[in-house]
Structure formats: C-alpha cells, structure tokens
Amino acid sequence: MQKESLRIHCSNGHLGFAPTKEESFWIGAETKPDYYCCDSGSDDIGPVPLGADKCASHPEWQKHDLELMLLAARKQGVPMIIGSAGDTGSDSRVDMYVGFIRELAKKHNLPKFKLAYFYSEIDKELVRGRMKAGEEIEGLDGRHSLTFEELDATDRIVAVAGVHPFIKALELGADVIIGGRSSDCAVFAAPAIYEGFPENIAYYCGKVLECASFCAEPYGAKETVIGTITKDDVKVTAMAPFQRCTVASVAGHAMYERTNPYYEYVAGGMMDMTECVYEQYDEKTCRITNPKFVPIEGKIKVKLEGSGKVGERFMGLAGIRDPYTIKNIDKVIQWAKDQVEERFAGTDYKLSYRIFGKNGVMGDLEPVKETKSHELMVIVEGVAPTATAAEEITMIGTRQIFYARLPEVKGTAGTAAFIIDEVAPISAAYEWTLDHTVTVDDPLELFPVTLIEIE
C-alpha cells in the first residue's frame, strides 16, 4: 500500500566535507524518518579530486557521518542512501565507502544487511569509440562539442546518475545504498518516486533537502533537516534547536538552486520552481506547494564530468605593508611576471596571482590604487610540467615582488614590503575537460547495480 506521507532525514549538505552536528542529527532520528539520505559529492570542489582520484574531505569526517547514519538507520530498520561517494563518486571512492560500511558494521556488531552499490566511472575509450562512430558529445554551459584533443587530455571521467540506479537498488531490497557520482537531488527524489509520490514533489524535495540546513535560518551548516512529503506538498523542518525553516529561507534556497543542468540531462526533465507557493506551516516548518516538473521527450542524455592534469603546482605567499607598494601593486605584479617570463620564455607554464586586501578581495592585476588597506596578502601559484620548474617559477614570481623597480624609490628607502618568503608544493593542477552529455538507450546503462550482504 502506498504511504500517505514520506519523511526523509538529511543531516549534511555534503557528507564528510565538515562533520555532521550530532545534536540535531539525533533529534531528527528520534522522529523516526522513513529514509536517511545524504549527498556526498559535488563538482564545486573543482577538478583536482576527480583527476587525482582522491577525496577533498578528511576520511575520518566521512566515516563519522556514515557511522551516524548507519547506526540510526539500522536501529530503525529503514534504508540509508548515499550519492557521489567520497566527494567525486569515482570507483575507488565507492569502494572506500563500502569498506567503511563493512568496518562500521563489524565495529558495532550489526546484524547482517544488504548493501547495494553502483559505479559511475566511464572508460574514455568508450567515449572515443562513440565519437569515431559519429556521435556528437554535446557540451554544456556554452562548451563546444567534445574534441579528441580534449578527450586525450582527460585522466578520469564520471557519469552523473539520476534516480534510476537508486530505485533499482531499492527494488533489490537494499538496506544501504552507496552510489557513484549522482545528481544531488536524485539521492532524495529516488526513494520518493520509488514509494509512488509524484515526480514534481519528489524532485522539489530533493532540491530543498540536498544542502541540508542551508534552507534554514539563521545560517548554520551541517545541521539536520527533515522533509515530509505527500502527493500535494513538501514540508521541510529544521531539527537544530536554534534554526527554523521559513518562507524566506526555503524560497531563497530554492531560487538559488532553481537552474541545474542535472535535471535536463539526468532526471529526465526540468524543474520550474517559479510558481511554488510557500507558507509558514509552524514555527520550524515551511510548506511548499505547486512545484512544476516538465519531462523532456526524446533521447536520454547523461552528463559526463572529466578532469585532466595540467602540471605540477607550487604556491608562494607574500605579505605587503608598504603604502607605496600597495598603491602600485599592479606594476609590482607585472614586474614579477616579467622576471619569470625572462627566464622561462618558450616554456609551457602558468603563473597566477590572487591579491587579498583587508577591505576586500582583488583579482589578478586588478588596480588597487584606491584601496584603504594597510596590508595585502598575495598568493602566487606556479604550474609547470615538472615540480622543479614549478618551484622555481613560483619562487621567482613571489620573491620578485620584493625586488620590483618602482619609480620614486631611492635606494631601499620606502620598499619595506614584508615578504613571507615561503614557497611550498601543493596538489597538482587539474582542469575540467568534460562538461558534456552522452546519449544512452537505458538510464541504467552506465550505472550497473551490485547487491551484496554485509555480515
């Protein structure tokens, strides 16, 4: 029998990115929700974690959040769903999360349960084969169609799953689901659709819950919210004692999230939240009605995200307090760039500057003559094919700030720029190489689901 309402617990807008706050988590758990769901990844973290196949979040933070969810869900006997495992949803991150679940089940001596997982990495040779066969891999966000050169520059590709592999896992009887790269909202929409609720309600619920307490006020990240849906509405309730979900906080979050290419290319339709009706249901709850979902007819398209390595990277820091240097910082930076170019002309390198002032942030070479700051912090990044070259480029680019030859400076007088002479290696530089779509006949085609038992 279809449920008249469904309650979904979301404790963290990006599982493990910072630890879930436990007080509101357990307040929410005490209400006995039907599902515990969390998104664990995003392309907001940039291309480095995907390309390098590593996490952006600390493993212990991720394990902490998984442990809370697993214990609450298994105690209550309801499903737990995770999407985009380990920040990127790559195969190794899915395996890592499955390993964490095994470890936690053993630690707490949990009775055996069923775990489903799916991968979402795509072999770039599969994409190459489709391109050779004449298929156009269309670009998103103004990108042109994928070229072979861009594909060659790619180290790792993930496809972005919609609701389909999650629903398949629930049909198989999974108690815990660990998903590869997934649409944020699909993690929450899938159980609602599986339970028979309308798509417009399910997908709106996903959009409002995916960032957890970002839809509540006052601002407080990593706090639990619960979404309650019927066939006609969504109610979202803040669990933290100091927070509440209001018309302003929920509508503001919905408008922030209202355009999302995942809908068109993963969820099979487009959300229209411009006609939603918001009302204050009670002190901590906002009720939403009239969300629209328009299915897209025709071929099924799945979004692909790809990342490729650009080179090794070093970072330098320079602090400046001399007023004359601050006033002429654009000339100072140009001098430093010219010194690097003099030595590395003809070399494939990148050098960038980010200038932070106490009364604001200024971009690369943006004039700051009118700044009221008495102090600037300059972050220098150098990228080159080898670590040796990247280190030297960054060192020159940082140290030459001190040696800039400005007019009106007599000897060393007036050059009192305080330099933090520190250059250190950081993660290699990567860039997004794919933000494209591929056509599939079956929405499960790229996301095979595997069911195992955890004892």
Span 288-322, pLDDT tens digits: 999 988 877 778 889 999 999 999 999 999 988 88
Residue 332 has pLDDT above 50, yes or no: yes
Percent of the chain with pLDDT over 90: 76
Nearest in space to 223 (alpha carbons), one of 20, 389, 430: 20
Asked if residues 186 and 161 have their Cβ atoms less than 8 Å apart, the reply is yes
Tell me if 316 is assigned to some domain: no
Residue 410 has pLDDT above 80, yes or no: no
The pLDDT-based confidence of 328 (bands split at 50, 70, 90) is confident
Residue 268 has pLDDT above 70, yes or no: no
**Bridge partners, 302 (sequence order):** 438
Tell me if 310 is assigned to some domain: no
Q: Are residues 12 and 154 in the same domain?
A: yes
Q: Are residues 189 and 254 in the same domain?
A: yes
Considering only residues 400 and 370, tell me which one the structure prediction assigns the higher pLDDT: 400
Asked if residues 240 and 213 have their Cβ atoms less than 8 Å apart, the reply is yes
Whole-angstrom distance, CA of residue 184 vs CA of residue 252: 18
**Bridge partners, 79 (sequence order):** none
CA of residue 266 relative to chain centroid, distance: 16
Q: Which whole number is the average pLDDT over 235-259?
A: 89
Q: Are residues 66 and 98 in the same domain?
A: yes
Q: Which whole number is the average pLDDT over 253-277?
A: 65
Tokens 């654009």 found at: 330
Tokens 């010219």 found at: 338
Domain count of the chain? Answer: 2
pLDDT digits (tens, 9 = 90+) for 151-177: 999 999 999 999 999 999 999 999 999
Tell me if 422 is assigned to some domain: no
CA of residue 64 relative to chain centroid, distance: 19
Q: Are residues 140 and 263 in the same domain?
A: yes
Q: Which whole number is the average pLDDT over 432-455?
A: 94
Q: Are residues 443 and 354 in the same domain?
A: no
Q: Are residues 256 and 354 in the same domain?
A: no
- Compute how many other C-beta atoms are within 10 angstroms of the C-beta atom of residue 132: 9
Whole-angstrom distance, CA of residue 137 vs CA of residue 433: 12
Percent of the chain with pLDDT over 70: 91
Q: Are residues 20 and 66 in the same domain?
A: yes
Whole-angstrom distance, CA of residue 268 vs CA of residue 260: 12
Asked if residues 213 and 222 have their Cβ atoms less than 8 Å apart, the reply is yes
Extract the tokens encoding 54: 């590593």
Weakest-pLDDT range from 104-108, 346-350, 410-414: 410-414
DSSP, collapsed to helix, strand or coil, labels residue 231 as coil
Q: Are residues 128 and 266 in the same domain?
A: yes
Please give the pLDDT value at position 411. Answer: 64
Extract the tokens encoding 349: 């390198």
Considering only residues 329 and 100, tell me which one the structure prediction assigns the higher pLDDT: 100
Extract the tokens encoding 133: 């066969």
Please give the pLDDT value at position 21. Answer: 98
Q: Are residues 410 and 439 in the same domain?
A: no
**The whole model's pTM is what?**
0.91
Nearest in space to 192 (alpha carbons), one of 180, 208, 178: 208
Cis upstream peptide for 218 (omega within 30°): yes
Q: Are residues 263 and 350 in the same domain?
A: no
Weakest-pLDDT range from 4-13, 262-271, 300-309, 442-451: 262-271
Q: Which whole number is the average pLDDT over 26-52?
A: 96
Tell me if 423 is assigned to some domain: no
Domain containing residue 182: 6-305+434-454
Tell me if 429 is assigned to some domain: no
Q: Are residues 16 and 91 in the same domain?
A: yes
Tell me if 221 is assigned to some domain: yes
pLDDT digits (tens, 9 = 90+) for 202-225: 999 999 999 999 999 999 999 999
DSSP, collapsed to helix, strand or coil, labels residue 107 as helix
- Compute how many other C-beta atoms are within 10 angstroms of the C-beta atom of residue 177: 29
Tell me if 424 is assigned to some domain: no
Q: Are residues 396 and 283 in the same domain?
A: no
CA atoms within 13 A on the CB side of 188: 34
Residue 413 has pLDDT above 60, yes or no: no
Tell me if 314 is assigned to some domain: no
Instruction: Measure the N-to-C terminal CA separation of the chain; round to a whole number of Å.
Output: 30
Considering only residues 372 and 82, tell me which one the structure prediction assigns the higher pLDDT: 82
Task: Cite the beta strand spans of 168-299 per DSSP E.
Answer: 176-179, 225-229, 233-238, 269-272, 277-282, 285-289, 292-295
Torsion, Cα 267 270 273 276, to 10 degrees, reads -80
